[in-house]
């Protein structure tokens, strides 16, 4: 059989399994998570052995240290994986609730019920723990899942896939509810992305290249997360201490995350803050680039910021700073250069804050808080399958609810339409 | 300039206009609807003249009577159009509300705000009234809209587009908030579907060919409505009178609508109903096709139903009937042949009904009610841009809320992430 046929067979099996999952009561879905946790705990040695094969092959293939680190599992990471399964099991059931019930003039009662999506495809890169973490979220929400990890993690993922299957079967659920694609061919992804008949959602997790490829090719709806070019705007009526603290935290708490600030916008009336702020950034090793106005206000900035800077997600200790007249110019800059991820205003003026919250068209808009808060756990979602920069279906951090949909239910007593 | 460039220019202008729309208070958006209504009222003669040109060209090109009827405007249809604008203006503002506010352990307050989607593309076929009706819904929800009607309605649509623009401008809003594509080239649709940078959602309204083409080509998310192969299942514990009334209404109240029943499933214990039911269907001119069990129970059925019947949206006075053992077989038939649109169970057993409501994976699932109720107005949405058979974002009848999204808002007081 060809890869395309193999993948279609897996997808059909997943669709059948999705029906069983959707019917399974929450106790059974949670039991599956516990049984998967037990399977991981009982097979740590085998997991680490498979992972060792991946790491050795990766080292031989010349993967850099950062990639090898993401690829590697150890006892501590397996402990974290098991704890993650416990946490997901503890979350309340995201499906089945009925909402907005109302009786219509015709006499029928109409409401909506939260239900699973069906079959979810997860396409990710090197970290093998995603195999279990993403599967757990999908299963909790009553969905079947097809997992396609990076080729460099194939041994680890195949082993973890076996454990997912055994945990499901031990709970009386079909093994096909969580399947790892067992081959590394690139063709497999292309085949998966065409199967809109069986697959309801694809979630690509990884670098921009992966996400752009998936978005371009997919016939299945994609929950995607592209750049995080996040802004903090220090308004003319900002509290200086809050502004300094938020800017520093938003840039320096972690450099490689999508909710890290990349550009700082400062109202002209507040440029007096810049020397102290730039010094604080430089003290922790951040390179600061500025527009002419910023360089005038803080001569310690020795690098010009260009249009390319305003459009770049550095993911590194680099910050671009631009002076704007006021909130309108800040919002115009964000609309032009931002990526609709997360922006924050620092101001004591409630009216200006309200305008910013309403008018900035990003998945998270903040007032007097660090952009670093844009995160499923910080938002109380309990878990996160990703952060969506799309506007449809799910926007911003996506938890279990993003893996469900709502259908209409109608109750009558023999009602017919006149 | 090429068509592709022209369309890109329109889309950029729409994106700019969307910002103004999103900022416009509800009073101004409603004023625009009233001004559009006045523009239509003041220019009825010019609209009808443009429409006459379309109808004459259509007749010359050999369009059939049904198509010509859909294309034609008259005084009564313009009155209905104006009344529709009044109705949309009367709906409550779908944007701006803040929900689910909660304080997190970190101290930040997190909630969501309903906001416009941005720019919506509507691609439709012959009916020119869609130009105004769809634009009204988009504008009400704070979105800009680009309208692409059928080539046979180009004169009518271009004229109506001028009136949309003049109504917007009279309200202080940008004319580019509602633009009709003024050329008939097929290339224009292809160009529109590639502009995911500027357009947030495409809604195709029309036949299966149009919707499949748009879905296949689009890089922009699509809100699509494919087939409506709707089922009524008469359970062994159905009330016979309710079953007869619902089946007749679901099939015969209108034949050409997507929520019309195409297949009737009858529990073996209830096949005694079939002779009366088939006679009633045949009495109003419905051709009944049946499985062997149905033909045994009701010899008046003289046509065999085949696999093709179970998979066909007739949109015509034809009904296929299948005898099943019980609810499980009914649900299996629906899962295999249905189109996830609308299904109804007739039963007095609350437990069986609850299972059906929960387990059938369709956009509307009903108990003791006619499938013909699956409709935005019947569900109290106040208006309907379409019926979605997709699972993401919006499912079932889509009203104003489906033209919006929710973004996260976060409020702190200098909060930083630890």
Note whether A373 contacts B19, CB cutoff 8 Å: no
- In this prediction, residue A61 has a pLDDT band, given cuts at 50, 70 and 90, of very high
Q: Which residue stretches of B360-395 are H helix? A: none
Buried-exposed string B220-240: b where 16+ CB fall within 10 A, e elsewhere? bbbbbbbbbbbbbbbbbbbbe
Torsion angle of the four alpha carbons B149, B151, B153, B154, in this order, in degrees rounded to the nearest 10:
90
Note whether B366 contacts A412, CB cutoff 8 Å: yes
Tens digit of each residue's pLDDT (9 = 90 or more) over A245-294: 999 999 999 999 999 999 999 999 999 999 999 999 999 999 999 999 99
Tell me what the mean pLDDT of segment A372-387 comes to.
92
Note whether B412 contacts A373, CB cutoff 8 Å: yes
**Residues of B with Cβ-Cβ distance to A202 under 8 angstroms:** none
- In this prediction, residue A243 has a pLDDT band, given cuts at 50, 70 and 90, of very high
- The reported pLDDT for the residue numbered A263 is 98
**Residues of B with Cβ-Cβ distance to A378 under 8 angstroms:** 104, 106, 108, 110, 417
- The reported pLDDT for the residue numbered A382 is 85
Please work out, in degrees rounded to the nearest 5, the angle formed at the alpha carbon of residue B11 by the alpha carbons of B7 and B15.
170
Which of A215, A249, A392 faces B417 most closely, judged by CB atoms? A249
* Cβ-based burial of B87 (10 A; exposed 0-12, middle 13-18, buried ≥19): middle
Distance in angstroms (rounded) separating the CA atoms of residues A100 and B308: 38
Tens digit of each residue's pLDDT (9 = 90 or more) over A403-412: 999 999 999 9
| B395: closest CA of chain A, how far (Å) | 6
User: CA separation (Å) from A405 to B112, B338, B385?
Assistant: 18, 18, 19
Note whether A416 contacts B245, CB cutoff 8 Å: yes
Note whether B368 contacts A414, CB cutoff 8 Å: yes
Note whether A411 contacts B367, CB cutoff 8 Å: yes
Nearest residue of A to residue B202 by CA position?
A392
**Residues of A with Cβ-Cβ distance to B215 under 8 angstroms:** 219
**Residues of B with Cβ-Cβ distance to A374 under 8 angstroms:** 408, 410
Tokens coding B365: 């699932």
- The reported pLDDT for the residue numbered B147 is 97
- The reported pLDDT for the residue numbered A186 is 85
Per-residue pLDDT tens listing for chain B (418 residues): 689 999 999 999 999 999 999 999 999 999 999 999 999 999 999 999 999 999 999 999 999 998 999 999 999 999 999 999 999 999 999 999 999 899 999 999 999 999 999 999 999 988 999 999 999 999 999 999 999 999 999 999 999 999 999 999 999 999 999 999 998 888 999 999 999 999 999 999 988 889 999 988 898 999 988 889 999 999 999 999 999 999 999 999 999 999 999 999 999 999 999 999 999 999 999 999 999 999 999 999 999 999 999 999 999 999 999 999 999 999 999 999 999 999 999 999 999 999 999 999 999 999 999 999 999 999 999 888 989 988 999 999 999 999 999 999 999 999 999 9
Note whether A416 contacts B365, CB cutoff 8 Å: no
> Which of B341, B415, B418 to mutate: most A Cβ within 10 Å?
B415
User: CA separation (Å) from A309 to A314, A344, B298?
Assistant: 8, 19, 76
User: CA separation (Å) from A201 to A139, A350, A368, B371?
Assistant: 14, 40, 35, 27
Which of B106, B245, B369 faces A411 most closely, judged by CB atoms? B369
Note whether A378 contacts B104, CB cutoff 8 Å: yes
| A334: closest CA of chain B, how far (Å) | 12
> Which of B16, B115, B392, B403 to mutate: most A Cβ within 10 Å?
B392
Tell me what the mean pLDDT of segment A393-399 comes to.
93
Note whether A395 contacts B408, CB cutoff 8 Å: yes
**Residues of A with Cβ-Cβ distance to B113 under 8 angstroms:** 357-358, 365
Query: Is the predicted pLDDT of residue A1 greater than 80, yes or no?
Result: no
- The reported pLDDT for the residue numbered A225 is 86
Nearest residue of A to residue B222 by CA position?
A221
Distance in angstroms (rounded) separating the CA atoms of residues A355 and B299: 71
Note whether B392 contacts A201, CB cutoff 8 Å: yes
Average pLDDT, chain A: 95
Distance in angstroms (rounded) separating the CA atoms of residues B259 and B374: 6
Note whether A369 contacts B200, CB cutoff 8 Å: no
| A103: closest CA of chain B, how far (Å) | 9
CB B413 within 8 A of CB B391: no
CB A159 within 8 A of CB A178: no
Tens digit of each residue's pLDDT (9 = 90 or more) over A319-363: 999 999 999 999 999 999 999 999 999 999 999 999 999 999 999
Tens digit of each residue's pLDDT (9 = 90 or more) over A280-297: 999 999 999 999 999 999
Distance in angstroms (rounded) separating the CA atoms of residues B322 and B291: 5
- The reported pLDDT for the residue numbered A208 is 86
Note whether A117 contacts B392, CB cutoff 8 Å: yes
The ipTM of this complex is: 0.92
Tell me what the mean pLDDT of segment A71-90 comes to.
96
**Which phi and psi (to 5°) does residue B369 adopt?**
-145, 155
**How many interface pairs between A and B have CB atoms less than 8 angstroms apart?**
221
* Cβ-based burial of B336 (10 A; exposed 0-12, middle 13-18, buried ≥19): exposed
**Residues of B with Cβ-Cβ distance to A409 under 8 angstroms:** 357, 364-367
| B372: closest CA of chain A, how far (Å) | 6
Which of A104, A241, A414 faces B245 most closely, judged by CB atoms? A414
Note whether A372 contacts B406, CB cutoff 8 Å: no
Distance in angstroms (rounded) separating the CA atoms of residues B82 and B44: 11
Nearest partner of A410 among B372, B335, B236, B403, judged by Cα = B372
**Residues of A with Cβ-Cβ distance to B390 under 8 angstroms:** 221
Nearest residue of B to residue A16 by CA position?
B335
Say what the pTM is.
0.91
**Residues of A with Cβ-Cβ distance to B374 under 8 angstroms:** 408, 410
Tell me what the mean pLDDT of segment A136-146 comes to.
97
Note whether B416 contacts A246, CB cutoff 8 Å: yes
Which residues does A29 contact at the CB level (< 8 Å), separation at least 6? A21, A93, A139, A140, A142, A173
**Residues of B with Cβ-Cβ distance to A369 under 8 angstroms:** 108, 410-412, 414-416
Which of A359, A368, A408 faces B22 most closely, judged by CB atoms? A359
């Amino acid at each position: 059989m060809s890869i395309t046929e193999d993948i279609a067979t897996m997808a059909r099996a997943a669709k059948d399994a999705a029906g069983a999952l959707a019917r399974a009561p929450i106790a059974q879905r949670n039991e599956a998570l516990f049984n998967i946790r037990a399977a991981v705990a009982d097979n740590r040695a085998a997991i680490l052995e498979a992972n060792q094969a991946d790491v050795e092959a990766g080292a031989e293939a010349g993967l850099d240290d950062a990639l090898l680190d993401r690829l590697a599992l150890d006892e501590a990471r397996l402990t974290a994986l098991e704890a993650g399964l416990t946490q997901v099991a503890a979350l309340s059931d995201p499906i089945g609730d009925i909402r907005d019930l109302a009786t219509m003039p015709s006499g029928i009662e109409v409401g909506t019920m939260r239900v699973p999506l069906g079959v979810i495809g997860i396409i990710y890169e090197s970290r093998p723990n995603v195999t279990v973490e993403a599967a757990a979220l999908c299963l909790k929400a009553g969905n079947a899942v097809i997992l396609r990890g990076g080729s460099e993690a194939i041994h680890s993922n195949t082993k973890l896939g076996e454990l997912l299957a055994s945990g499901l079967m031990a709970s009386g659920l079909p093994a096909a509810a969580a399947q790892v694609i067992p081959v590394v061919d690139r063709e497999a992804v292309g085949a998966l992305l065409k199967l809109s008949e069986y697959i309801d959602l694809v979630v690509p997790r990884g670098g921009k290249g992966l996400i752009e490829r998936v978005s371009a090719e997919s016939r299945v709806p994609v929950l995607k997360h592209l750049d995080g070019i996040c802004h903090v705007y220090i308004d003319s009526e900002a509290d200086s201490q809050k502004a300094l603290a938020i800017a520093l935290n938003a840039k320096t708490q972690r450099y490689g995350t999508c909710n890290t600030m990349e550009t700082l916008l400062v109202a002209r009336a507040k440029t007096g803050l810049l020397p102290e702020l730039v010094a604080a950034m430089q003290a922790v090793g951040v390179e600061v680039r500025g527009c002419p106005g910023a360089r005038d206000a803080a001569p310690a900035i020795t690098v010009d910021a260009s249009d390319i800077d305003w459009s770049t997600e550095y993911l590194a200790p680099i910050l671009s700073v631009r002076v704007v007249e006021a909130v309108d110019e800040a919002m115009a800059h964000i609309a032009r250069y931002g990526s609709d991820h997360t922006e924050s205003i620092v101001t004591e003026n409630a009216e200006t804050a309200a305008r910013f919250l309403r008018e900035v068209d990003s998945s998270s808009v903040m007032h007097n808080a660090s952009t670093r808060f844009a995160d499923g756990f910080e938002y109380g979602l309990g878990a996160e399958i990703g952060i969506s920069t799309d506007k449809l279906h799910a926007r911003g951090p996506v938890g279990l609810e993003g893996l469900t949909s709502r259908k209409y239910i109608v109750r009558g007593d023999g009602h017919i339409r006149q």
